[in-house]
Structure formats: C-alpha cells, structure tokens
Structure 1
Amino acid sequence: MSDDTDYEVGQDNVQVMGLDIHNPVFAISGVTIVAFVFFSLVFREQAAEFFGWLRPTLTSNFDWVFMIACNLFVVFSLFLVISPYGKIRLGGEDAKPDYSYMAWIAMLFAAGMGIGLVFWGVAEPISHYGSSMGGVAVGEDGVRTDWAPLGAAAGDMAASRDLAMAATIFHWGLHPWAIYAIVALALAFFSFNRGLPLTMRSVFYPLLGKHTWGPLGHIIDILAVFATIFGLATSLGLGASQALAGLNYLFGVPISDGMSVVLIILITIFALVSVVAGLEKGVKRLSEANMILAAALLLLVLLVGPTMAILSGFFGGMADYIVQLPALSNWVGREDTNFMQGWTAFYWAWWISWSPFVGMFIARISRGRTIREFIICVLIIPTIVGALWMSVFGGAALEQVTGGAGQALSDAALELKMFKMFEAFPMTGLLSFIGIILVVVFFVTSSDSGSLVIDTITAGGKTDAPTAQRVFWCVLEGAIAIVLLLGGGLGALQAASIATGFPFAIVLMLMCVSVMIGLIRERKRLK
C-alpha cells in the first residue's frame, strides 16, 4: 500500500435518516443549490438580467484563461502517451479491465457529449459558414473574408466550407476530450493505484498532503459539485429545447415554457429509473443502446444524403483541422473575437464544468487500462468519431446551403435546424423521430450518470451510497435545468456553465501538476 493511503473512505461520513453524507460537502452543496433554485424562481426577471450580463463578461475578460488551460491539457495528454509513464496500468500491474472495449467506449462517449453532438451537428457548421469565421461575411464591397487562417479567397465557397468544418471539429475534438482525459486519469490513478477515495480532493494529495481531508478539500469537492450540476443543466436544457422542437415539428406539440418543464420532468423520471437500476443494469445498457441508435441515424443520413460530398468533407475538414489547430488555439492578437469569445471560450468553460462528472464516470469504468491505452482511447477515438458525426450532419447541411436550397435551414432556430435538414431527405418523418429518441436517451444517460458521480463526490468517494441520495441529485439536476430555462433560456444555461467553469479551470491546471508528481512517484515505486 502506498504512502498516500492515510485516509479511510467514509471516515468523515455522517448517517442521517438512512443517508450516507460526507459532511460538510453534501450539506453545503445541497443547501446552496436548493437556495439557487428557489431564488431564481422567485426573482425571475432579476435572474434573467444577471445571466444575460454574466456570460459576455466572463468570456470577454477571461477568454485567455480558458484558451491557455485547454491548450495545456492537450499538450500534457499527448506527452503522457509518448512518455514512459504511459506503461503504468490503472489499478496496478495485474489489474484487468472491467468492461470490453465496445462497452467501455460506448459509455464514455454517451456520457461525454451526446446531447451536444445532436444539437450542434447541423447548427454549428452552418453558423460558422455564414459568419466571418467561415470566410463569407458580407461587406459593402461584396463577399469578403474578415478572418480566415486558411487564407480563403473572397467568395471561395469550398475553402469557406472546409474552414467552417475545421472550426466545428476544433470545438468537439482534442481539446474537450483532453480535459476529460486528464480529470479521468487523475481520479482513476489516485483511487485505483494509490488507494484514495474516488473524489476530486484525492487528486491533490501530492500538493496538499493531509490538508486534502480538511477545509481545502471540502472546497475542491464543493466546486466540483457546482461545476458538474450546472454543466449538466446546460446540456439538459439544450436537449429539452431540441426534443420539444422536434415534437412540435412532427406532432404539433406547442412550444412553451410549460411544455419545456413537462418534458424535463418526464425525462428526469426516466433518468430516475436508470439511476435506481445502477451502473451495470441502467447506465451501461442505455449507453450501448444509444450508441446503436446513434450509429443507425448516422448511417441513414450518410446513405440518403450527399454521400460523396460528406465523405470528402470529412477528410477535408480533418486535414484543415490539423493545419489550423495552432491558429485556432492561439489567443494572442485574434481579430475574430466573436468566434473566440462567443464560441470557443464558452465551449471550453462548458467542457471544464462537465469534467468532474465525465472524468469521474470514465474513471469508474477504466480500471485495468494502461495510461497510454487510456489516453489514446479517451482522446483520439472520440475525436475521430465526433469529427465523423459533425462531417455527416454538418456536411449534409452545408451541401444544402451551398446548393441554394437551404434558406429555410439557415433561417431556422438552432434547435430546429436538424429537423429542417431532414426535409430534403427521404424518410423525413423516420429520421426526425429517431433524432428525437436519440436526444431523449442521451438526456437520460447524461442525467443518470451525472447523478451517480455527484453522489460519489458528496458521499466522500463511496460508490455504494444509498439510492435515495442519487435520486435527490437526479431530481435537483432537472430542477436546475427548469429554473435556468425559465430564468433566461439557453443564454442563462450557458452563463451558468461559464460561471462554474472559470474557477474550475484553475483547479484543473493545478491538477496536472499533482498528477505529474504522482506518476513520478509511482514509476519510482515500480522500479
């Protein structure tokens, strides 16, 4: 046993009314979030005004923090792949994987960014193509390029399209998955190899020592809970708005605040069923079913859409992504502030706020993998799959827009764009229905796995805490999504993600230092 294991899991826990509570993380997190829900409902106008101010303030003043942090995570992840530390096995030299490759990748991908891919798959490439980022901004002198690192000529539709796809892949590629990989690796290593509780504070043991179990550790875990629950609420809000748009499109279900609330409540009930079933029976099976459904929709769009144009766009977009990665990652002297602050900074904050949830979930299912195998599978494979998804849906949409038949698609609301794109395909109703089901199931898998993670953090690292606690957090996630939608719509959801993602970006940079110290000690111990 290592010298880090001077702590017994649950030793600070308190038994209250059948609950296993880690004091004071559970109490402070729960009370604060419940108070937030209450006051946001009572003071809706003030809440909407506050959230409307918060997002642009943070992204315009602290965009450089998000850019530097996420670049660091990518570099550190790639370093671990090629370094000798990549041979270290999570769980010890004799550890065996708990899940097959297929089940493992299905679960990490479904939890990682499922709803976002469905929501933004069509909307984001079109948005970039129709802006200065895409190279087709319209000025008094006609079509011109404001900022295009590709050097796209004025009116060059092909270059503008490739750049739009490269920018989209950038937001769903190496950077977000590097964030997840670092957090998941840190949690898995310090829990499985060093015998510490599976909670965020454990990762900082090399830096804090025994203070990890005191007030500083409590603050880290509370921040992780806040980041996770508001990051999840953002995704749940996106999923609800898109599912409702699809139901309106197919069946005429009215779009209103009331229907949004009803939909979130219904899907939260489904998530509760999965939460009660547990990781093996609930989350694992739902994740595998969702991957099959997503693959089916992907293949259908690829086959009934402009297949050759989509495949060409995939390879062209990937090539441009690699070429433009340094320019897109740069934060100095950028003229495209709307793109960097409005898109990139928001995305990086969103991924960071999701990282405790996704990282801990991936950690729980990754015992037995070597660090090299872990980083490659968590970083590279999802990047390629995400790029393929964006290329199929975004490529098909861009083909309609550039072909002159996509005006309705361009003008449609963000949550409706995917369904508008399906109008040009055979089996429109079937594709739209599968899309709605996919959003709903991604919604459920995100909510139930998120509840398991928050419960683990607030139970001091215990993975078998009472079911009632998981139910409490699942209900609270749905309540926050409802409150934020009522108190400012998607803008409020995005503002909440950024507000929690900013302080946690600093925490994650310190985490890289702690992980490096831990790996150096582990390698010395194994020699």
Structure 2
Amino acid sequence: MTKVDPPKRQQHVYTGFGLRTDPYIFFVSAGLVALFVFTAIVFTKPLNDGSKAAKDWIVSNLSWFFIFSVTGMLLFLIWIALSKYGNVRLGAQDSKPEYSNLSWFGMLFAAGIGTVLMFWGVAEPISHFGNPPREGVVPESVEAADDAMAFSLYHLGLHTWAIFCLPALAFAYFIYRRGLPMRMSSAFHPLLGDRIYGPIGKAIDILAVLGTLFGVATSIGLGTLQINSGLNYLSDSIPVGKGTQLAIIAVVTAIATVSIVVGLDKGIKRLSNLNIVMAVALLIFVFLAGSTLFLARGVFETFGNYFGELIGLSFWNDSYANLLENRSWGWQGDWTVFYWAWTITWAPFVGIFVARISKGRTIREFVLGVLAAPTAFTIVWFSIFGLSAIDIEINGGGGLVEEMDTDSGGGGAPFALFTFLENFPLTTLMVAFSVLIVVIFFTTSSDSASLVVDMLCSGQQETGTPTRQRVFWAITEGVVGGTLLAATTGSSGLEALREVITIAGLPFHVLAFFMMWALVRALREDVEVVTVTPREKTPIETPKEKATPIET
C-alpha cells in the first residue's frame, strides 16, 4: 500500500480572507459560477437558445455514448468486485468496517435517492404508461405497464448506483490507501502523478466543484417545483410560479445556512434519520391503504421484470427512432440521457459521502453493497407507488396520465404525487406530510452538499475549515438553483434543468473511463497475488510499499 505525500508547496492554505482552502480552486470555481449567474440574468434568451442547441446536438449525436458509459461502469464494477482485487480493503488490510451493515445500508439510502424517489416515484411510471418509450406499444396496456416499470427501474436502479459507486470507490481507495487529498483529482494519481497538484489536477477539481453545484442545484430545482406544487395543492392562495419558487429556495437555503452557522450537525443527522423513517411510513401507508394484495404480488413480479429486461435496456438506445417519421431522439434525451448526466454531476457529492462511511470494507463488500441495497429499496418503492398509480389509472378514478400531459393543461411531474394521493384517505394530511418530507430532504441535501464542495476545494475533511466557507457554498447552491429555474424563457423550469445538466454531464462521462483505468492501474501497483495453495489465492500488500492510511 503506497502513501503519497503532497509536495510541500501544495500544503499551504489561503488565509488572506480567513479561508483555509486552495485559492485557485475556490476562487476560479466561484468566479465561473458568478459568470454563469450574470450571463443567465443579463443574456437570458441567448443562453437559453445556446443551451437548447447544445443539448439537442448532444442528444442527437452522443446519446449512445452516455448509455455505453454507464453500462460500462456497471460491468466494470461487477468485474472488479468478483476479481482477485475483491478482497482488498479500503484502508489497512486488517481494518474493520466502522458501521454495522444495517447502519451502513440506512446511510446509503440517505445518500442520494430521497428527493429522487419522492419526485419520480409516481411521475415516471405513469408517464411511460401513458406515453410508452418503445414504438408499437399500445398506451395504457399491460405491455405499457411492464415497460413503464422496467424503464423507471432501469433509470433509478443499478445503473444510477453504478454512477455513484465508481467515484465513491476511487475516493475511498486513494484517500484511505494512498493518503491523498479528498479531491476528484486524487482519483487520477496513477495516470498524472504529482501533476494532480498542478494545473491539470486543479482543472479536474474545478470541474468537480462546478458539476456538484449544478447537480445539486438541479435536485434543488426539482424539489422546489414539487414543494411549490404541494403548497398550491394545499392552498390556492399559494401560486405556482417563479416568484414562489425563488421564495422557497431562499427559505430552505436560509435554514441550511443557519444549521451550518450554529453547528447543528447532530441535529441535521437526526433529522435525516427521521426523514428516512417518514419516507418509509409514507410507503407503508400507500401499501396498506391501496390494493395491498395486488401490490404484494406486483413487488415480487417487478423484481423479475426488471432483471429480465436489464440486459436489453442496458444497450437500448432507440436506434431506429430517426428512421420513423413519427419518432425523434427526444424521448431518450429527456429521460435516459438527462438521468445519466444529472446523476454523474452529482456523483462527487454522493461519492465522498459513501467513501467516508465505508472505510474498512473490502472492495467486494463495498461494490455489492452500494449496488444491491439501494437498488432493492428502489424496486420496492417504485413497485408500490408506480403500480398503485397504474392501478388507479385502470381501476380507479384515473386522471394521472392527464396530469402528466402539460400540453393539455396538466401540472406535470411536480403535481403527480399529490394528484395520486387524492385517491387515498387523509389526502390533505398526507399531502402536507409529503411536502414536509421533501423540504427536509432538500434542507439536509443543501447542508451536506456545502460540506462536500468545501472538501473538494480544500482537500481536507470537515474539521479544520472555517464555517464561512460552507456558508458561502450553501448560498451559492441556492443562487444557482434559483437561476436555473428563474432565468429561463420557457414556462417550465424542468426543461431548463434538463438542458443545462445534459451539457454539464458530458465531460464527467469522459473522465469516468480514465477513472476506471487509474483504479485498475493503482490496484496492480499496490497489490500482488501470491499463491498460498493450489486452490487459494490471497491478495496481500507489497511489503516495501506498506504504509499507514490517512485518519478520518
């Protein structure tokens, strides 16, 4: 195991303004964000036109690359978990995990899927049910229902968690086994060497900061749209519009900022745990108050449907769409490409969190746990909410497909969950309960993301950096989220979020291949396999390279 010490000239911190961070990464990132906000406000229409044209070009020409990239990540992770490197520990070879499996699984759930499940749990399955992705499938048919569930889980199951898992594994390996700074550039040390401390490394770190800001801002934007819709459902006096959405972002950002200033870390953690309990309570309520027997059967069947379709969907990119007069590349750009771009920009945030809670686990435990546990919960969540929505559309009052059709006056995805809850008892109470869940997810995500961005800039863990740095990034996240929603010429902020994040995600997918290469190269350098018996091989550390991992 090799420990790498940064050059002494890189161990300084910038203290001119009372900061403890890398001045180049911090100020260049902040400057680029300010430039984006200024451009979006002053040159709104040119920016909208440019981002739409760029997004359309990427979708038309590179949608296949996004799909190839994410499927490649998943296959790579499965290979490395089952390979001779699977027994290598993230830390000293005799170290043990710091958290029990149950606690670890719970924290994985909190890491990256709370807001996503609340927003898309009803909206995506019912959208695909009414507007099937594949040509020739009859809308609102049994085949459309199967496709709706399969595509929803393809988007938010193993592939999403492969995007989170790859950088998390790279962070954990290079931080705990090589003692490198907590920065994106550290994952490329086997390829760049000490150049990770120079202009190339800093450029990678700036890209990671910007990607995290835009990824989290997109989540903030989606959460804001849903909160606004829920409040409007509860009271007509609260309008749906950009003014209300900006006010929501300001209030939630202020709450997150206060929690940073007064140091409510334990309170935020308890609030996060409470939020998970609340989300599970909502899940149980829908299961028991809905068609329970149908859902119990459907959950089991959905597992089989998902894994039965997984291989085909992993390579499907609608190749024949442009050959048919009534089809275009639009569907996959608005869904699959958007998901993969959004998720990978958010991956440094989730990756650092997952790495911090996974020290002491083997690569095999890490990969299989990060992929399997959240995916299993996601399947259950989408089965209960998605199948309940389809059941309501077929046997109940309906109206959910129409709600998703914004061209015909529907509220779209932000309203889907609340229209869905109209079909259950205690509607007003459950809508309010759901809005509260989204608000807490929103607040804790903003608080956590500001910490992660600060770490990406400073290369340090959360101790030792001034609070003002986290406050700055929390406010910046809110400003970027508000800008993405408000400084748009279209009527729906969702389109603007899709356009910007698709552009931002492209370079991260390119870097993912270099990250896989660097990880394999590091493992080959640090670990050798020695034959113990004719049937047993054990990975051990090369004695002359043995070193103590960084402390957390």
Q: Paired residue for 2:375?
A: 383
Structure 1 residues 400, 65: closer, same or farther in 2, change over 3 A? same
Q: Report deviation, 1:332.
A: 5.9
Q: Report deviation, 1:341.
A: 2.5
Q: Decide which moves more: 475-484 or 14-23.
A: 14-23
Q: Report deviation, 1:279.
A: 8.9
Distance in 2 (CA, whole Å) between partners of 1:480 and 1:332 is: 31
Q: Paired residue for 1:131?
A: 131
1:316 maps onto 2:315 in alignment: no
Q: Paired residue for 2:279?
A: 294
Distance in 1 (CA, whole Å) between partners of 2:154 and 2:183 is: 30
1:340 maps onto 2:332 in alignment: yes
Q: Secondary structure at the match of 1:492?
A: helix
Distance in 1 (CA, whole Å) between partners of 2:271 and 2:8 is: 33
1:312 maps to amino acid: R
Distance in 1 (CA, whole Å) between partners of 2:400 and 2:85 is: 52
1:224 maps onto 2:208 in alignment: yes
Q: Decide which moves more: 487-496 or 103-112.
A: 103-112
Distance in 2 (CA, whole Å) between partners of 1:460 and 1:12 is: 11
Q: Secondary structure at the match of 1:4?
A: coil
Q: Paired residue for 2:104?
A: 104
Q: Paired residue for 2:161?
A: 177
Structure 1 residues 155, 429: closer, same or farther in 2, change over 3 A? closer
Q: Report deviation, 1:159.
A: 2.6
Q: Report deviation, 1:73.
A: 0.7
- 1:296-346 deviation per Cα after TM superposition (whole angstroms, max 9, x unaligned): 111011110112222332222221221211221215662354433321111
Q: Report deviation, 1:466.
A: 1.1
The sequence identity of aligned pairs, in percent, is 40
- Extract unaligned runs of 5+ from structure 2: 322-328, 404-409, 529-539, 543-552
Q: Secondary structure at the match of 1:196?
A: coil
Q: Report deviation, 1:213.
A: 1.0
CA-based RMSD of the aligned residues comes to 2.1
Q: Paired residue for 1:143?
A: none
Q: Report deviation, 1:484.
A: 0.8
Q: Paired residue for 2:521?
A: 517
Distance in 2 (CA, whole Å) between partners of 1:92 and 1:101 is: 19
Distance in 1 (CA, whole Å) between partners of 2:64 and 2:34 is: 32
Q: Report deviation, 1:121.
A: 0.7
Kept in 2: contact 1:397–1:421 (CA 8 A): yes
Equivalent of 2:387, from 395, 403, 418? 395
2:61 maps to amino acid: N
1:242 maps onto 2:242 in alignment: no
- 1:418-458 deviation per Cα after TM superposition (whole angstroms, max 9, x unaligned): 10011111111121111101111111122111111110011
Distance in 2 (CA, whole Å) between partners of 1:184 and 1:169 is: 22
1:416-431 equivalences in 2 (<5 Å): 416-431=415-430
Q: Paired residue for 1:84?
A: 84
Q: Paired residue for 1:260?
A: 245
Q: Report deviation, 1:509.
A: 1.2
Distance in 1 (CA, whole Å) between partners of 2:267 and 2:47 is: 35
Q: Decide which moves more: 172-181 or 361-370.
A: 361-370
Q: Decide which moves more: 85-94 or 507-516.
A: 85-94
Q: Paired residue for 2:260?
A: 275
Q: Paired residue for 1:167?
A: 151
Q: Paired residue for 1:463?
A: 462
Structure 1 residues 313, 162: closer, same or farther in 2, change over 3 A? farther
Kept in 2: contact 1:170–1:321 (CA 8 A): yes
Distance in 2 (CA, whole Å) between partners of 1:4 and 1:374 is: 23
Q: Report deviation, 1:500.
A: 1.4
Kept in 1: contact 2:126–2:400 (CA 8 A): no
1:46 maps to amino acid: P
Q: Paired residue for 1:415?
A: 414
User: What's the TM-score, normalizing by structure 1?
Assistant: 0.92
Structure 1 residues 147, 218: closer, same or farther in 2, change over 3 A? farther
Q: Report deviation, 1:203.
A: 0.7
Q: Report deviation, 1:8.
A: 6.2
1:21 maps to amino acid: T
Q: Secondary structure at the match of 2:15?
A: strand
Q: Paired residue for 1:501?
A: 505
Kept in 2: contact 1:51–1:491 (CA 8 A): no
Distance in 2 (CA, whole Å) between partners of 1:102 and 1:492 is: 39
1:175 maps to amino acid: H
Kept in 1: contact 2:70–2:159 (CA 8 A): yes
Distance in 1 (CA, whole Å) between partners of 2:128 and 2:430 is: 25
Distance in 1 (CA, whole Å) between partners of 2:157 and 2:437 is: 21
- 1:117-157 deviation per Cα after TM superposition (whole angstroms, max 9, x unaligned): 11111110011111232x6xxxxxxxxxx256xxxxx5782
User: What's the TM-score, normalizing by structure 2?
Assistant: 0.88
- 1:70-105 deviation per Cα after TM superposition (whole angstroms, max 9, x unaligned): 011100111122122121111212333333434433
Distance in 2 (CA, whole Å) between partners of 1:155 and 1:20 is: 57
Q: Paired residue for 1:142?
A: none
Q: Report deviation, 1:172.
A: 0.4
1:212 maps onto 2:196 in alignment: yes
Q: Paired residue for 1:14?
A: 14
- 1:227-246 deviation per Cα after TM superposition (whole angstroms, max 9, x unaligned): 11001111100000101100
Kept in 1: contact 2:67–2:317 (CA 8 A): no
1:297 maps to amino acid: L
Q: Paired residue for 1:140?
A: none
1:237 maps to amino acid: G
Q: Report deviation, 1:254.
A: 1.6
Kept in 1: contact 2:132–2:139 (CA 8 A): no
Structure 1 residues 504, 246: closer, same or farther in 2, change over 3 A? same
1:440 maps to amino acid: V
- Extract unaligned runs of 5+ from structure 1: 136-145, 149-153
Q: Secondary structure at the match of 1:179?
A: helix
Q: Paired residue for 1:141?
A: none
1:370 maps onto 2:362 in alignment: yes
Q: Paired residue for 1:444?
A: 443
Q: Report deviation, 1:511.
A: 0.1
Kept in 2: contact 1:115–1:235 (CA 8 A): yes
1:490 maps to amino acid: L
Q: Secondary structure at the match of 1:24?
A: helix
Q: Paired residue for 2:537?
A: none
Distance in 1 (CA, whole Å) between partners of 2:208 and 2:224 is: 24
Structure 1 residues 289, 276: closer, same or farther in 2, change over 3 A? farther
Q: Paired residue for 2:352?
A: 360
Distance in 1 (CA, whole Å) between partners of 2:344 and 2:275 is: 24
Question: Size of the alignment, in residue pairs?
Answer: 511
Distance in 1 (CA, whole Å) between partners of 2:416 and 2:475 is: 30
